[in-house]
Amino acid sequence: MEFKSLIKSLAVFFLMAVPAVSAQAQSKVIKIDNPKMTVFLPPSGIGNGKALVALPGGGYSHLAVYHEGFDWAPFYNQLGLAYAVLEYSMPKGDRSIPMGDVDAAFKIMADSASQWGFHPDSIGIMGSSAGGHLASTMATHPTENCRPAFQILFYPVISMDSGLTHKGSRTGFLGENPSEELDAAYSSEKQVTSATPRALMLLSADDKTVVPANSLRYFDALNKAGVPASLMVYPTGGHGWGYREKFRYHDNVLSEITSWLKSL
């Protein structure tokens, strides 16, 4: 991916009103192509120096850009975070494609940090379902451009182990019949080190799509490596609730995230 063309795209960004954040005085929305990313900046005067790049889920076949992406913008902006939704490319068996998109997105965010009002070393990553796998993958495979400061993961796919993973996500990310070595390399619970960023995981105990053992293994690995980790398991709700207010524990989710971010 050509980073010069990505940065050049910043010169042609435009501001526009989006209904999800229209009630927030002086908030701004910045649309960027290549990769396709929308950045929601908090109203003037309430920024806390942090930013968050969100990766919606969709099993590496599509993206749930609203309830796992755009709908979160007002919440995070009111907490003072700059919030970006990355519409990453589908891998179709080539993991380097979405990983390259995330790498490029973090470079854009870091290069624009002073202009957009946050610290370049305070950019976190958020992911839901397969997006949670991509987020944890970038957290455990940091690059020169992408070194997330923290992780927020919703019902994430963590492992590529055939007995534990979400099969569609595994095939989409690694292709058909990946080797055991490749499975291990992109099973985030097996790649944790003491340098892995702290994490908050939120999921439901009755999730049948991405079984909770994914998050439990990641939590255990982080804990053993001495990395601060928090795990919130709600009794019901299944999979894929995101920001949906009909989720029974929606208010609890907002409260937990708020408290956790304030503790950083």
Q: pLDDT digit string (tens) for 41-81?
A: 999 999 999 999 999 999 999 999 999 999 999 999 999 99
Q: What pLDDT sits at residue 26? A: 63
- Grade residue 7 by pLDDT with cuts at 50, 70 and 90: very low
132 with 140: CB under 8 angstroms?
Answer: no
Q: 195-240, pLDDT tens digit by residue? A: 999 999 999 999 999 999 999 999 999 999 999 999 999 999 999 9
Q: State the pLDDT confidence band at 3, using cuts at 50, 70 and 90.
A: very low
Which amino acid belongs to residue 151? Q
**Alpha-carbon span 131 to 84, nearest angstrom:** 14
All structural domains of the chain: 29-263 (3.40.50.1820)
Rounded CA gap, 98 and 146, in Å?
13
What pLDDT shows up at residue 141?
98
pLDDT over 90 at 10, yes or no: no
pLDDT digits (tens, 9 = 90+) for 145-167: 999 999 999 999 999 999 999 99
Are 134 and 142 in contact, with CB atoms under 8 Å apart? no
Mean pLDDT of the chain: 91
pLDDT, tens digit (0-9, with 9 covering 90-100), for 220-232: 999 999 999 999 9
Write out pLDDT tens, residues 87-124. 999 999 999 999 999 999 999 999 999 999 999 999 99
N-terminal to C-terminal alpha carbon distance within the chain: 33
Looking up tokens 């095939």 gives 171
pLDDT band at 35 (very low <50, low <70, confident <90, very high): confident
Instruction: Please give the pLDDT value at position 79.
Output: 98
CA gap 130, 209 in Å, rounded: 11
